[in-house]
Amino acid sequence: MAPSGAVVEIDGSVTYSGDVCAFYADNLTVRGVNGRPRIDAAGQNALGKGTWVVGGVGTVIENVELYGARVADRNGAGIRLDGKHLTLRNSFLHDNENGILTNNDGVSDILVENTEFGHNGYGDGYSHNLYIGSVNSLTFRYNFSHDANVGHNLKSRAKLNTILYNRFSSTAAGQAGTTASGQPSYEVDLPNGGTAYVIGNIIEQPAANQNPNLLAYAEEGAVNPGTDLYVVNNTFLNDASQGTFILIGGAVTTPALIQNNVFAGGGTITNQAGAAQKTNYQAVSPAFVDRANYDLRPASGAPFINAGFTPGIAASGISLVPSMQYVHVAKTQSRPSNGTIDIGAYEATSP
Protein backbone atom coordinates (compact mmCIF):
# COMPACT_ATOMS: atom_id res chain seq x y z
CA MET A 1 0.00 0.00 0.00
CA ALA A 2 1.32 3.45 -0.92
CA PRO A 3 2.39 5.64 2.03
CA SER A 4 1.04 9.12 2.71
CA GLY A 5 2.43 11.71 0.31
CA ALA A 6 3.21 9.15 -2.39
CA VAL A 7 2.71 9.63 -6.13
CA VAL A 8 1.21 6.57 -7.82
CA GLU A 9 1.49 6.47 -11.62
CA ILE A 10 -0.68 4.19 -13.76
CA ASP A 11 0.39 3.14 -17.24
CA GLY A 12 -2.03 4.65 -19.74
CA SER A 13 -1.40 2.06 -22.45
CA VAL A 14 -3.47 -0.55 -20.60
CA THR A 15 -7.18 -1.18 -19.92
CA TYR A 16 -7.61 -2.51 -16.39
CA SER A 17 -10.61 -4.81 -15.98
CA GLY A 18 -12.06 -5.38 -12.52
CA ASP A 19 -9.14 -3.57 -10.89
CA VAL A 20 -11.04 -1.90 -8.04
CA CYS A 21 -9.56 -0.70 -4.76
CA ALA A 22 -9.80 1.43 -1.63
CA PHE A 23 -6.91 3.64 -0.51
CA TYR A 24 -6.42 5.46 2.76
CA ALA A 25 -3.07 7.29 2.59
CA ASP A 26 -3.17 11.06 3.07
CA ASN A 27 -1.96 13.55 0.44
CA LEU A 28 -1.82 10.80 -2.16
CA THR A 29 -1.54 11.64 -5.88
CA VAL A 30 -2.82 9.05 -8.36
CA ARG A 31 -2.30 9.85 -12.03
CA GLY A 32 -2.21 8.28 -15.45
CA VAL A 33 0.95 8.55 -17.53
CA ASN A 34 1.82 7.63 -21.13
CA GLY A 35 -1.81 8.15 -22.11
CA ARG A 36 -4.99 7.85 -20.07
CA PRO A 37 -5.53 4.49 -18.33
CA ARG A 38 -9.00 2.98 -18.67
CA ILE A 39 -10.33 1.35 -15.49
CA ASP A 40 -13.38 -0.83 -16.14
CA ALA A 41 -15.10 -2.02 -12.95
CA ALA A 42 -16.29 -5.05 -14.94
CA GLY A 43 -18.74 -6.23 -12.30
CA GLN A 44 -16.37 -5.74 -9.37
CA ASN A 45 -16.48 -3.14 -6.59
CA ALA A 46 -14.53 -2.03 -3.54
CA LEU A 47 -16.34 -2.26 -0.19
CA GLY A 48 -19.70 -2.41 -1.95
CA LYS A 49 -19.29 1.26 -2.90
CA GLY A 50 -17.62 1.63 -6.27
CA THR A 51 -14.44 1.43 -8.31
CA TRP A 52 -12.14 3.64 -6.25
CA VAL A 53 -13.00 4.34 -2.60
CA VAL A 54 -10.94 7.27 -1.33
CA GLY A 55 -10.45 7.19 2.43
CA GLY A 56 -7.52 9.54 2.90
CA VAL A 57 -7.20 13.30 3.28
CA GLY A 58 -6.14 15.53 0.40
CA THR A 59 -6.21 13.00 -2.44
CA VAL A 60 -5.41 14.21 -5.98
CA ILE A 61 -6.54 12.14 -8.99
CA GLU A 62 -5.40 13.07 -12.50
CA ASN A 63 -5.80 11.73 -16.03
CA VAL A 64 -7.84 8.55 -15.57
CA GLU A 65 -10.96 7.06 -17.16
CA LEU A 66 -13.33 5.22 -14.83
CA TYR A 67 -16.45 3.41 -15.96
CA GLY A 68 -18.81 0.55 -15.19
CA ALA A 69 -19.29 1.02 -11.42
CA ARG A 70 -22.33 -0.96 -10.22
CA VAL A 71 -23.24 -2.03 -6.67
CA ALA A 72 -26.21 -3.59 -4.91
CA ASP A 73 -27.67 -0.33 -3.59
CA ARG A 74 -27.53 1.30 -7.07
CA ASN A 75 -25.05 3.96 -5.92
CA GLY A 76 -21.88 2.54 -7.42
CA ALA A 77 -19.43 5.40 -7.92
CA GLY A 78 -16.44 5.77 -10.16
CA ILE A 79 -14.95 7.71 -7.23
CA ARG A 80 -16.45 7.40 -3.76
CA LEU A 81 -15.11 9.95 -1.28
CA ASP A 82 -15.16 8.63 2.28
CA GLY A 83 -12.16 10.75 3.36
CA LYS A 84 -11.68 14.52 3.28
CA HIS A 85 -10.79 16.95 0.49
CA LEU A 86 -10.46 15.77 -3.10
CA THR A 87 -9.03 17.15 -6.34
CA LEU A 88 -9.94 15.57 -9.68
CA ARG A 89 -8.63 16.86 -12.98
CA ASN A 90 -8.15 15.89 -16.63
CA SER A 91 -10.25 12.73 -16.37
CA PHE A 92 -13.30 11.02 -17.90
CA LEU A 93 -15.96 9.34 -15.73
CA HIS A 94 -18.82 7.69 -17.56
CA ASP A 95 -21.42 4.94 -17.41
CA ASN A 96 -21.26 4.53 -13.65
CA GLU A 97 -24.20 4.69 -11.27
CA ASN A 98 -22.57 7.89 -9.95
CA GLY A 99 -19.54 9.56 -11.44
CA ILE A 100 -18.50 10.95 -8.05
CA LEU A 101 -20.36 10.35 -4.79
CA THR A 102 -19.13 12.05 -1.62
CA ASN A 103 -19.86 11.89 2.07
CA ASN A 104 -21.57 14.62 4.11
CA ASP A 105 -18.71 15.63 6.41
CA GLY A 106 -19.41 19.37 6.25
CA VAL A 107 -15.70 20.26 6.02
CA SER A 108 -14.30 18.90 2.76
CA ASP A 109 -13.25 21.18 -0.08
CA ILE A 110 -13.60 19.58 -3.50
CA LEU A 111 -12.04 20.78 -6.75
CA VAL A 112 -13.03 19.29 -10.12
CA GLU A 113 -11.53 20.73 -13.29
CA ASN A 114 -10.94 19.87 -16.96
CA THR A 115 -12.94 16.66 -16.62
CA GLU A 116 -15.72 15.02 -18.62
CA PHE A 117 -18.72 13.27 -17.07
CA GLY A 118 -21.16 11.36 -19.23
CA HIS A 119 -24.16 9.05 -18.88
CA ASN A 120 -23.72 8.32 -15.19
CA GLY A 121 -26.80 7.38 -13.17
CA TYR A 122 -28.68 4.18 -12.44
CA GLY A 123 -31.78 5.59 -14.12
CA ASP A 124 -33.95 6.02 -11.02
CA GLY A 125 -33.34 9.75 -10.53
CA TYR A 126 -31.38 9.25 -7.29
CA SER A 127 -27.92 8.96 -8.85
CA HIS A 128 -26.14 11.50 -11.02
CA ASN A 129 -23.12 12.47 -13.08
CA LEU A 130 -21.84 13.94 -9.82
CA TYR A 131 -23.45 13.87 -6.40
CA ILE A 132 -21.58 16.13 -4.01
CA GLY A 133 -22.91 15.79 -0.48
CA SER A 134 -23.07 18.27 2.40
CA VAL A 135 -19.43 19.31 2.29
CA ASN A 136 -17.86 22.73 2.80
CA SER A 137 -17.22 23.72 -0.80
CA LEU A 138 -17.25 22.60 -4.41
CA THR A 139 -15.26 24.33 -7.13
CA PHE A 140 -16.39 22.96 -10.48
CA ARG A 141 -14.64 24.58 -13.43
CA TYR A 142 -13.71 23.94 -17.06
CA ASN A 143 -15.68 20.67 -17.21
CA PHE A 144 -18.06 18.97 -19.65
CA SER A 145 -20.96 17.19 -17.93
CA HIS A 146 -23.54 15.66 -20.21
CA ASP A 147 -26.22 13.04 -20.78
CA ALA A 148 -26.92 12.08 -17.18
CA ASN A 149 -29.11 8.99 -17.10
CA VAL A 150 -32.31 10.49 -15.60
CA GLY A 151 -30.41 12.16 -12.74
CA HIS A 152 -28.72 15.57 -12.76
CA ASN A 153 -25.62 16.62 -14.68
CA LEU A 154 -24.41 18.18 -11.42
CA LYS A 155 -25.92 17.92 -7.94
CA SER A 156 -24.23 19.57 -4.98
CA ARG A 157 -25.30 20.14 -1.39
CA ALA A 158 -22.09 22.03 -0.57
CA LYS A 159 -22.32 25.22 1.48
CA LEU A 160 -20.32 27.09 -1.17
CA ASN A 161 -20.55 26.27 -4.88
CA THR A 162 -18.31 27.94 -7.45
CA ILE A 163 -19.38 26.79 -10.91
CA LEU A 164 -17.29 28.42 -13.62
CA TYR A 165 -16.88 28.05 -17.39
CA ASN A 166 -18.38 24.59 -17.88
CA ARG A 167 -20.65 23.05 -20.48
CA PHE A 168 -23.74 21.11 -19.42
CA SER A 169 -25.52 19.54 -22.37
CA SER A 170 -26.87 16.32 -23.87
CA THR A 171 -27.02 14.65 -27.25
CA ALA A 172 -30.23 13.81 -29.05
CA ALA A 173 -31.14 10.14 -29.41
CA GLY A 174 -29.04 8.62 -32.17
CA GLN A 175 -26.61 11.54 -32.27
CA ALA A 176 -22.93 10.61 -32.06
CA GLY A 177 -21.20 11.39 -28.79
CA THR A 178 -18.66 10.01 -26.35
CA THR A 179 -21.45 8.19 -24.47
CA ALA A 180 -25.03 7.16 -25.07
CA SER A 181 -27.64 9.91 -25.04
CA GLY A 182 -29.24 10.74 -21.72
CA GLN A 183 -32.39 12.40 -20.47
CA PRO A 184 -31.22 14.45 -17.48
CA SER A 185 -33.40 16.08 -14.88
CA TYR A 186 -31.83 19.37 -13.73
CA GLU A 187 -28.67 20.41 -15.52
CA VAL A 188 -27.42 21.92 -12.25
CA ASP A 189 -29.05 21.21 -8.89
CA LEU A 190 -28.06 23.06 -5.70
CA PRO A 191 -30.93 21.79 -3.55
CA ASN A 192 -29.87 23.25 -0.19
CA GLY A 193 -28.93 26.76 -1.28
CA GLY A 194 -25.86 28.38 0.26
CA THR A 195 -23.57 30.78 -1.56
CA ALA A 196 -23.38 29.92 -5.26
CA TYR A 197 -21.48 31.54 -8.12
CA VAL A 198 -22.65 30.34 -11.55
CA ILE A 199 -20.54 32.27 -14.06
CA GLY A 200 -19.64 31.78 -17.71
CA ASN A 201 -21.31 28.41 -18.30
CA ILE A 202 -23.21 26.85 -21.21
CA ILE A 203 -26.29 25.24 -19.70
CA GLU A 204 -28.46 23.33 -22.15
CA GLN A 205 -31.64 21.37 -21.57
CA PRO A 206 -32.37 18.78 -24.28
CA ALA A 207 -35.80 18.38 -25.81
CA ALA A 208 -36.05 14.92 -24.21
CA ASN A 209 -35.62 15.46 -20.47
CA GLN A 210 -36.94 14.38 -17.08
CA ASN A 211 -37.57 17.85 -15.64
CA PRO A 212 -38.46 21.13 -17.37
CA ASN A 213 -36.10 23.29 -15.26
CA LEU A 214 -32.41 23.92 -15.97
CA LEU A 215 -30.80 25.37 -12.82
CA ALA A 216 -32.40 24.64 -9.45
CA TYR A 217 -31.47 26.35 -6.20
CA ALA A 218 -32.72 25.59 -2.67
CA GLU A 219 -35.78 23.75 -3.99
CA GLU A 220 -35.38 21.21 -1.15
CA GLY A 221 -35.02 23.95 1.46
CA ALA A 222 -32.52 26.73 2.18
CA VAL A 223 -30.71 24.84 4.94
CA ASN A 224 -27.15 25.93 4.10
CA PRO A 225 -25.79 29.17 5.57
CA GLY A 226 -26.28 31.97 3.06
CA THR A 227 -28.90 32.28 0.35
CA ASP A 228 -26.95 34.35 -2.17
CA LEU A 229 -27.09 33.14 -5.76
CA TYR A 230 -25.13 34.86 -8.53
CA VAL A 231 -25.94 33.83 -12.12
CA VAL A 232 -23.74 35.92 -14.39
CA ASN A 233 -22.75 35.78 -18.08
CA ASN A 234 -24.05 32.31 -18.83
CA THR A 235 -25.64 31.06 -22.04
CA PHE A 236 -28.77 29.00 -21.36
CA LEU A 237 -30.24 26.85 -24.13
CA ASN A 238 -33.70 25.36 -23.70
CA ASP A 239 -34.43 22.87 -26.48
CA ALA A 240 -37.74 21.98 -24.85
CA SER A 241 -40.87 24.04 -25.42
CA GLN A 242 -41.31 25.09 -21.80
CA GLY A 243 -39.68 25.24 -18.40
CA THR A 244 -37.95 27.58 -15.99
CA PHE A 245 -34.34 28.50 -16.58
CA ILE A 246 -33.60 29.32 -12.92
CA LEU A 247 -35.86 27.68 -10.34
CA ILE A 248 -35.47 29.12 -6.83
CA GLY A 249 -37.02 27.62 -3.71
CA GLY A 250 -39.79 29.57 -2.04
CA ALA A 251 -37.89 29.80 1.27
CA VAL A 252 -35.22 32.00 -0.35
CA THR A 253 -35.92 35.67 0.33
CA THR A 254 -32.55 37.05 -0.82
CA PRO A 255 -32.94 38.29 -4.41
CA ALA A 256 -30.80 36.30 -6.83
CA LEU A 257 -28.54 38.33 -9.11
CA ILE A 258 -29.27 37.30 -12.70
CA GLN A 259 -27.13 39.43 -15.00
CA ASN A 260 -25.74 39.36 -18.54
CA ASN A 261 -27.21 35.97 -19.42
CA VAL A 262 -28.50 34.77 -22.79
CA PHE A 263 -31.70 32.72 -22.50
CA ALA A 264 -32.34 30.85 -25.75
CA GLY A 265 -35.65 29.10 -26.31
CA GLY A 266 -39.00 29.15 -24.58
CA GLY A 267 -39.59 29.27 -20.86
CA THR A 268 -39.62 31.59 -17.87
CA ILE A 269 -36.33 33.12 -16.78
CA THR A 270 -37.04 32.61 -13.06
CA ASN A 271 -39.88 32.02 -10.64
CA GLN A 272 -38.41 34.41 -8.03
CA ALA A 273 -40.45 37.59 -8.33
CA GLY A 274 -37.87 39.76 -6.57
CA ALA A 275 -34.80 38.54 -8.44
CA ALA A 276 -32.41 41.27 -9.59
CA GLN A 277 -32.49 40.80 -13.37
CA LYS A 278 -30.03 43.04 -15.19
CA THR A 279 -29.12 43.27 -18.89
CA ASN A 280 -30.19 39.75 -19.86
CA TYR A 281 -31.27 38.76 -23.37
CA GLN A 282 -33.98 36.24 -24.22
CA ALA A 283 -35.03 35.05 -27.68
CA VAL A 284 -36.27 31.84 -29.23
CA SER A 285 -33.29 31.73 -31.60
CA PRO A 286 -30.54 34.20 -30.67
CA ALA A 287 -28.01 35.08 -33.34
CA PHE A 288 -25.14 32.71 -32.55
CA VAL A 289 -22.30 32.02 -34.99
CA ASP A 290 -23.21 28.30 -35.27
CA ARG A 291 -25.74 27.05 -32.73
CA ALA A 292 -25.79 23.48 -34.10
CA ASN A 293 -22.07 23.08 -33.46
CA TYR A 294 -22.03 25.01 -30.17
CA ASP A 295 -20.21 28.04 -31.50
CA LEU A 296 -22.19 30.30 -29.21
CA ARG A 297 -20.32 33.52 -29.87
CA PRO A 298 -22.64 36.35 -30.91
CA ALA A 299 -22.93 36.54 -34.69
CA SER A 300 -22.11 39.81 -36.40
CA GLY A 301 -24.76 42.37 -35.55
CA ALA A 302 -26.30 40.31 -32.74
CA PRO A 303 -28.20 42.55 -30.31
CA PHE A 304 -26.38 41.13 -27.29
CA ILE A 305 -22.97 42.41 -28.43
CA ASN A 306 -21.74 45.26 -26.20
CA ALA A 307 -25.11 45.12 -24.45
CA GLY A 308 -24.11 43.93 -21.00
CA PHE A 309 -23.22 45.81 -17.87
CA THR A 310 -20.01 45.11 -15.97
CA PRO A 311 -20.86 42.84 -13.02
CA GLY A 312 -19.89 44.14 -9.64
CA ILE A 313 -18.63 42.51 -6.47
CA ALA A 314 -20.42 39.80 -4.51
CA ALA A 315 -21.28 40.29 -0.85
CA SER A 316 -18.18 38.20 -0.07
CA GLY A 317 -15.94 40.64 -1.97
CA ILE A 318 -15.39 38.29 -4.93
CA SER A 319 -15.46 39.83 -8.40
CA LEU A 320 -18.29 38.59 -10.61
CA VAL A 321 -16.63 39.66 -13.87
CA PRO A 322 -16.00 36.63 -16.14
CA SER A 323 -12.32 36.22 -17.05
CA MET A 324 -12.45 32.97 -19.04
CA GLN A 325 -14.70 31.16 -21.50
CA TYR A 326 -15.30 27.47 -22.14
CA VAL A 327 -13.49 25.62 -24.96
CA HIS A 328 -14.61 22.13 -25.94
CA VAL A 329 -13.68 19.55 -24.68
CA ALA A 330 -13.25 20.54 -21.00
CA LYS A 331 -10.82 23.41 -21.59
CA THR A 332 -10.87 27.20 -21.34
CA GLN A 333 -9.34 30.31 -22.80
CA SER A 334 -9.12 33.89 -21.62
CA ARG A 335 -12.20 35.95 -22.34
CA PRO A 336 -11.31 39.00 -24.46
CA SER A 337 -11.95 42.40 -22.97
CA ASN A 338 -12.96 44.92 -25.62
CA GLY A 339 -14.97 47.75 -24.21
CA THR A 340 -18.52 47.02 -23.08
CA ILE A 341 -19.03 43.40 -22.08
CA ASP A 342 -21.19 41.16 -24.29
CA ILE A 343 -24.15 39.30 -22.83
CA GLY A 344 -23.64 35.54 -22.52
CA ALA A 345 -20.75 33.14 -21.99
CA TYR A 346 -18.71 34.38 -24.98
CA GLU A 347 -17.38 37.61 -26.40
CA ALA A 348 -18.01 38.18 -30.11
CA THR A 349 -14.32 38.76 -30.79
CA SER A 350 -13.08 35.43 -29.44
CA PRO A 351 -11.27 33.23 -31.99
* pLDDT tens profile 13-61: 999 999 999 999 999 999 999 999 999 999 999 999 999 999 999 999 9
Burial of 5 (0-12, 13-18, 19+ CB in 10 A): exposed
In a domain, 140, yes or no: yes
**φ and ψ at residue 220, rounded to 5 degrees:** -100, 5
In a domain, 31, yes or no: no
In a domain, 297, yes or no: yes
Q: Are 153 and 128 in contact (CB under 8 A)?
A: yes
Number of separate domains in the chain: 1
Mean pLDDT of 75-84: 98
Q: pLDDT averaged over the chain? A: 97
Mean pLDDT of 305-318: 97
In a domain, 43, yes or no: no
Mean pLDDT of 77-91: 98
In a domain, 158, yes or no: yes
Q: How many CA atoms lie within 13 A of 166 on its CB side?
A: 26
Instruction: Give the pLDDT score at 220.
Output: 98
In a domain, 276, yes or no: yes
SS3 assignment, position 83? coil
Instruction: Give the pLDDT score at 172.
Output: 81
pLDDT tens per residue across span 264-300: 999 999 999 999 999 999 999 999 999 999 999 999 9
Rg of the chain over Cα atoms, rounded to whole angstroms, equals 20
Q: Give the model's confidence band at 351: pLDDT under 50 very low, under 70 low, under 90 confident, else very high.
A: very low
Q: Give the model's confidence band at 173: pLDDT under 50 very low, under 70 low, under 90 confident, else very high.
A: confident
In a domain, 253, yes or no: yes
Mean pLDDT of 129-140: 98
Domain range for residue 290?
Answer: 104-334
pLDDT tens per residue across span 236-249: 999 998 999 999 99
pLDDT tens per residue across span 179-227: 999 999 999 999 999 999 999 999 999 998 999 999 999 999 999 999 9
In a domain, 53, yes or no: no
Mean pLDDT of 134-160: 98
* Nearest of 327, 261, 265 to residue 294 by alpha carbon: 327
Q: Are 151 and 119 in contact (CB under 8 A)?
A: no
SS3 assignment, position 84? strand
